[in-house]
Amino acid sequence: MDRNPVTWLGSPAFPTAAKSALADDQLRRNLRHATGLIRTKRAHAVAELPDWEELRLAGEAIKDSVLANLDTYLEQLEESVTARGGIVHWAVDAAEANAIVLRLAKEAGADEVVKVKSMTTAEIGLNEALAAGGVEAIETDLAELIVQLGDDRPSHILVPAIHKNRTEIRDIFKARMPNTAELTDSPPELAEAARKYLRQKFLSAKVAVSGANFAVASTGSVVVVESEGNGRMCLTLPDTLITVMGIEKIVPAWQDLEVFLQLLPRSSTAERMNPYTSVWSGVTPGDGPRNFHLILLDNGRTSTLADRVGRQALRCIRCSACLNVCPVYERTGGQAYGSVYPGPIGAILTPQLGGDMHDKHAASLPYASSLCGACFEVCPVRIDIPSVLVHLRADAVAAKSRFSPEAISMAAMSWVMAGPKRFHIAQRLATAGRLLSRDGKIRKLPYPGSQWTQSRDLPAPAKESFSAWWKRTRG
């Protein structure tokens, strides 16, 4: 089986990646500024709705009812889209989805495609697969364009270039776009430069590729929410539109959108409504593309669905509110997670989609959290991210053999703690462990303890154990 591209090839385990991210002062400044700004705005946008909690509960219930009957809804969606003139394809994994897009693009006579920002196509590594097949993918979302022109990787679900500040963006544009010698770092000017750069591409493109935010099973309506109008360009101008959609993106009925069109914009960009939302059902003669293809993608979703605790991650609507409130994300940035899905949701989604807890990088992700719970509080579909993290940590430990240092130390710990005498001896030994510490922290234990300190600093043991102190002062 092909490797699932949801994790980036060669990514180090999270602690290693985080260490270098933490050393980058510029990155931390950029992130602190941006996440701070959006946190305040979101709180304001959410506080404006008196029924926010009821909307969250409804969002959770709708998504859970979809997951519990996913086979039925998928077949219903296929039927509705087909009835409106669309063509539905099914792809078990990234390789199959990429091959379908490449074939369709070539059949349409295109050597380049314009793209709407889409997490799903980033997850499957579509751009690289198309390039290998001789088709160039042009990202048209401003942030995706910044990442693409900078030969960079995304670091946030909503704003993939959040790690770059305006000056860095100006430098990328000046290096890669024609006629930008006079470009300043004012955001309106940078947006204008992107507008000019992409205009001709939009007017001449034959094929567009998009993702989908929602698809309504009963009507066959597909929904894309966006801000810049690049989405509308891609969805309406080219002759052929190819939409790649994860199988969990379904809502049963049109009415269900009344919940998500309130939850998503306020959680995501912290607006009452995003500037543009497009809805289309199959093909409309005389308006928009003449050919519409919808690719329904599994790529690890069905194995995620099989996990009773972990399946709630499939409720995710990709708003990224959990990233913006996460103390770990704010300090390390998104690239440290080694996946297109970073932050708290990435820490539970990436390892599940990848489906291999023997992979050291994937197995390190559930530990990329302090379990503070802020992510659950802001999640518009109430994904209990901390509980799933703990559940996946257990999976990660189980994936190692029971003879692994971590498993052995856990077993040894329970033996030590079972007898008071053994426990006292152990505590005296631990106090001696202070010799290993500097500034109150132990950064490197000798083997097998090194397996523990590889991913965490260990606070130095106290000079005196509590029981020794009690005996000395009160005994």
Partner 1 sequence: MADSKAEILRRIRTALADKPATPVVERSYQRTRSFPSVIDLFAERVADYRAVVHRVTSVPAFIEETLSGKRIVVPADVPEEWLVSPVTWLHEPLSVTDLDQSDGVLTGSAVGIAETGTIVLDAGVAQGRRALSLLPDYHLCVVRAEQIVGTVPEALERLDPHRPLTFISGPSATSDIELDRVEGVHGPRTLEVLITG
Please answer whether residues 62 and 262 qualify as being in contact, where contact means their C-beta atoms are separated by less than 8 angstroms. Answer: no
Asked whether the CA dihedral 103, 109, 113, 116 is positive or negative, the reply is: negative
By CB under 8 A, tell whether 257 contacts partner 1.
yes
Which residues, in sequence order, are bridge partners of residue 209?
Answer: 115, 242
Smallest distance from the beta carbon of 287 to partner 1, in angstroms? Answer: 4
Looking at residue 382, the DSSP 8-state letter turns out to be -
By CB under 8 A, tell whether 190 contacts partner 1.
yes
In the bound state with partner 1, the residue whose beta carbon lies nearer, of 160 and 338, is 160
- Contacting residue, 124, 146, 345, 388, with partner 1 by CB under 8 A: 146
Q: Which residues, numbered 11-40, are part of the site for partner 1 (CB under 8 A)?
A: 30, 33-35, 37-38
Smallest distance from the beta carbon of 327 to partner 1, in angstroms? Answer: 17
- Contacting residue, 105, 172, 198, 375, with partner 1 by CB under 8 A: 198
Torsion of CA 241, 321, 154, 328, to 10 degrees: -160
By CB under 8 A, tell whether 330 contacts partner 1.
no
By CB under 8 A, tell whether 258 contacts partner 1.
yes
In the bound state with partner 1, the residue whose beta carbon lies nearer, of 62 and 209, is 62
| Count of positions on this chain that bind partner 1 (CB under 8 A) | 99
Smallest distance from the beta carbon of 433 to partner 1, in angstroms? Answer: 44
Token pair in block for residue 55: 């909307």
Q: Which amino acid is at 334?
A: G
In the bound state with partner 1, the residue whose beta carbon lies nearer, of 261 and 363, is 261
- Contacting residue, 113, 149, 161, 363, with partner 1 by CB under 8 A: 161
Smallest distance from the beta carbon of 60 to partner 1, in angstroms? Answer: 8
Helices 257-268, 52-68: crossing angle, 10 deg rounding: 120
Q: Which amino acid is at 229?
A: G
Q: Which residues, numbered 262-291, are part of the site for partner 1 (CB under 8 A)?
A: 262, 265, 269, 271-281, 284, 286-288
Smallest distance from the beta carbon of 138 to partner 1, in angstroms? Answer: 13
Q: Which residues, numbered 294-313, are part of the site for partner 1 (CB under 8 A)?
A: 296, 298, 302-303, 305-306, 308, 311
Q: Which stretch binds partner 1 (CB under 8 A): 51-59, 337-345, 354-362, 442-450?
A: 51-59
Q: Which segments within 341-404 are labelled E, that is strand?
A: none
Q: Which amino acid is at 397?
A: V
In the bound state with partner 1, the residue whose beta carbon lies nearer, of 256 and 384, is 256
Q: Which segments within 266-364 are labelled E, that is strand?
A: 276-281, 291-297
Smallest distance from the beta carbon of 461 to partner 1, in angstroms? Answer: 43
- Contacting residue, 14, 202, 214, 337, with partner 1 by CB under 8 A: 202
Smallest distance from the beta carbon of 314 to partner 1, in angstroms? Answer: 10
Rounded Cα gap, residues 84 and 102, in angstroms: 24
Neighbours of 120 (CB within 10 A): 22
Smallest distance from the beta carbon of 3 to partner 1, in angstroms? Answer: 19
By CB under 8 A, tell whether 230 contacts partner 1.
yes
Q: Which residues, numbered 62-121, are part of the site for partner 1 (CB under 8 A)?
A: 62, 64-65, 67-71, 74-75, 78, 84, 90-92, 96
Please answer whether residues 407 and 354 qualify as being in contact, where contact means their C-beta atoms are separated by less than 8 angstroms. Answer: no
Q: Which residue has the tokens 């910044």?
A: 146
Smallest distance from the beta carbon of 268 to partner 1, in angstroms? Answer: 9
Instruction: Give Cβ neighbours of residue 178 (< 8 Å, ≥ 6 apart).
Output: none
Smallest distance from the beta carbon of 192 to partner 1, in angstroms? Answer: 8
Instruction: Give Cβ neighbours of residue 191 (< 8 Å, ≥ 6 apart).
Output: 142, 228
By CB under 8 A, tell whether 383 contacts partner 1.
no
Rounded Cα gap, residues 287 and 116, in angstroms: 19
Rounded Cα gap, residues 358 and 58, in angstroms: 36
Please answer whether residues 166 and 185 qualify as being in contact, where contact means their C-beta atoms are separated by less than 8 angstroms. Answer: yes
By CB under 8 A, tell whether 392 contacts partner 1.
no
In the bound state with partner 1, the residue whose beta carbon lies nearer, of 224 and 442, is 224
| Best CA proximity match to 46, nearest among 462, 469, 386, 380 | 380
Rounded Cα gap, residues 350 and 1, in angstroms: 18
